[in-house]
Amino acid sequence: MQGDYQVIDKTSLLTYSDHGIGLSATPTGLSNTPLIWYKENDEKSYQKYVKAIDELLSDNVRKRVNRTELGPCGHPPYGYGEKPCIVVRVNKHIGWSVNPIHANSTYYKDVPTHIKKLVENKQKKLFLSCDGFHSYDKEHIGKIEYFPDPPGIDVNVFPSDIQGSSPLLAVQISEFTLGMSIAVECKMWYDGPTSSLHFLLYVTPKNVSV
């Protein structure tokens, strides 16, 4: 593919966060950069991403994952190539425990409105929210769906042990602008420092040569 300076420049600025509990995304791009880049409806160009999610969900440690909860993101081709899925994993921290976000939390003021509504409804989970990183990205990101919905992890899965599987959530993006690099930020909300990760989505229109 031809080099896209906007994509390259943004990629150099994005790294996975070391703050909070730690999150990882699958798939990633070459050299483990958080970049998903393929041509619209070109199976050959996105097959590597399908394979990456295949490997994640077939891992022996994660065979207990309920693929039904991941919706279309739990079965091949995971929405590629019109509605790509990204599977978000909570990195394992043996013995780490956590409390859900609540209205009296120091971190509550920064929680998105739709997450606050879930908290008000007495849902006690670690909640995930994703959006465009900058205002430009927010304009072009289109529609974001979560699986399961609402996108939360039961706090009772923590603390985890060495045999436990890492909790998974899925994000599916659709109706986004083609031919533009879109920086996406996902955050995990709980009663503690916010965990976050970033990735780039770039889908080349099928009528453009690469």
Q: pTM for the whole thing?
A: 0.81
Spatial CB neighbours of 9, under 8 Å, sequence gap ≥ 6: none
| Residues 170-204 pLDDT 10s | 999 999 999 999 999 999 898 888 888 888 999 99
- Domain ranges within the chain, ordered by starting residue: 5-203
Q: CA-CA distance, 148 to 169, in Å (whole number)?
A: 7
| Residues 137-168 pLDDT 10s | 999 999 999 999 888 888 777 656 555 567 88
CATH number belonging to the domain at 5-203, selected among 1.20.120.80, 3.30.420.40, 3.40.220.10, 2.60.40.1660: 2.60.40.1660
